[in-house]
Amino acid sequence: MGSMILRASSPWDALMSVPDHRRPEGKRYPLASLLLIAIAAMLAGRRDQPGIVRWGRGLNHDTLTGIGIERDRVPAPSVWCELFQDLDAAALERALGGWVTGETPATGHVAIDGKVLRGSATARSPATHLLAAFSASLQGVIGQSRVAPETNEITAALELLKTLPLKDVTITGDAIFTQRAICLAIIDGGGDYFFTVKGNQPALKADIAEAFRPFSPSAEWSAPPDLGRAETIEKSHGRIEARRIETAASLNALPAPLWAGVAQVCRITRERIVRGKKTIVTVYAITSLSAERASPGRLPALNRVHRGIENCLHYVRDVTGREDRARANAGHAPQVLAAFRKTALTVIRRLGFKVVEGFEYLAEYRLAAVQAARG
C-alpha cells in the first residue's frame, strides 16, 4: 500500500508544497507566507482566525520581507477568511504530515483517534469531525482527515490508512476500529495492530472470553499451554491499581482466518481500589504481534500509550488551545485551523518546551515564533 505523504524537512518546505487555489488576481501575497504567519500566530498563543489577523498586523516590514511578503502589512480579515474556507485542507494535511515524518518514516506506535470540533457546529450543520494518526516517536500527527457527515470513523480510518506509511508500524485504536477490513488494510501495508474487543464485536468477544475461562463454572477448563501473564501494581494518592494481562497464541485460531494476521488474543483485567471501594474491569484484545515480538509485559504499554493520545493531543488542544471554543465553521476553515494547532504543538515539543512554557515564551518573542514556524 503506497504512502501519499510528501517528505519535507521543515514546516516552510511543507507549506511551499500546498497548491494555491486562488485566482491570479488574488495572489498578491504568497500562499506559503500567509500559512506560515497562521502557524506562528498559533505558536504565540492565538487560537482563532481573528487572533491570527491581529497578531499578523504586528509584524514589521523586515519580518514580512524575510518570509517573502513585499508589502508593509498583512491582508485584510476578509482575505484570511476566504483563504481558510477555500484552502485544500487535504493537501495541507498531507504536507504537514510529511514534515512531521521527515526523511525517516514513522516506526513504532501510531495511534488513531477521532475528535469533534464542537465549536464548529451550527444550527444547520454538524460539528467538524476529524480523525488523526499520532506518532508517539515523532511527537506529532502524521495524518489527519475529515470524517464526512454521511460516513463514520470506520470508513474514514480505511481512507486514512491508505495515506500512511504502515511498514514496521503498530496501529492502535479504540474498539470501534476493531474491524476486519481495518486489520486487513494494516497487514497488507506491512504493519501490525493491537485493538481492544468490546460490544461492537460480540461474537469475537464471547469467543475470546470463553477461551480464557468458560461461561459455565462447572465446565472443564485448562489453561492454554502457552499462557503468558504480566502484572503491574501502582499506588498513588490513596489509590491502588493492579493491571494484569494474559495472552495466548495457541488461541489465535478462534478469530482466524476472519481476522487477518491475528497472532495473539488477550485478556486485560484492571482492579482499582479507591477509598476502600473495589472495581474490576475486564477487556479483551487481539493483536498481530507474535509472542516473540510482543511479550505480555509490552502489550499493556501499547494500551497505555494509546490512551496518552488524549493528553498529548486532544486534551492539550482543548484546554491549552481552546479548540472547542473556536467558532470557525465555514468551508474548510475548521480543519485548516485545527491543522495549524496540531503543528504548533509539534513545533513546541520539538523545541524542547513543555506546551504551556512554549506558548508563553513564543508569545513574548514574536520573531522567535516566526523562526520556529519556519523551521
Q: What percent of the chain has pLDDT over 90?
A: 65
Encode pLDDT of 85-125 as tens digits.
999 999 999 999 999 988 766 668 999 999 999 888 888 88
- Would you state the pLDDT for residue 2? 42
pLDDT at 217: 62
Average pLDDT, the chain: 89
190 torsion bin: left (phi>0), alpha (psi -120 to 50), beta (else): left
Identify whether the C-beta of residue 269 lies closer than 8 Å to the C-beta of residue 94: no
216 located within any domain: no
Residue 70 in any domain: the answer is: yes
Within a domain: 342: yes
For 211-229, the pLDDT digits (tens) are: 887 655 666 667 778 888 9
Average pLDDT over residues 58-76: 95
> What pLDDT was estimated at residue 3?
45
User: Is 106 a domain residue?
Assistant: no
pLDDT per position as a tens digit, 169-191: 999 999 999 999 999 999 999 99
Say if residues 288 and 186 touch (Cβ distance below 8 Å). yes
Q: pLDDT over 70 for what percent of the chain?
A: 94
Q: How many independent structural domains does the chain possess?
A: 1
Amino acid 153: pLDDT: 96
Q: What is the pLDDT of residue 220?
A: 65
Domain that holds residue 94: 11-100+330-374
Residue 347 resides in a domain: yes
> Does residue 77 sit within a domain?
yes
pLDDT band at 4 (very low <50, low <70, confident <90, very high): low
Query: What's the alpha-carbon Rg for the chain, to the nearest Å?
Result: 23
Where do we find the cell 462447572?
A: 218
Rounded CA-CA distance 104/208 in Å is 37
Whether 27 maps to a domain, the answer reads yes
The whole-number average pLDDT for the span 185-206 is 94
**Would 18 be classed as within a structural domain?**
yes
Q: What length is written for the chain? A: 375
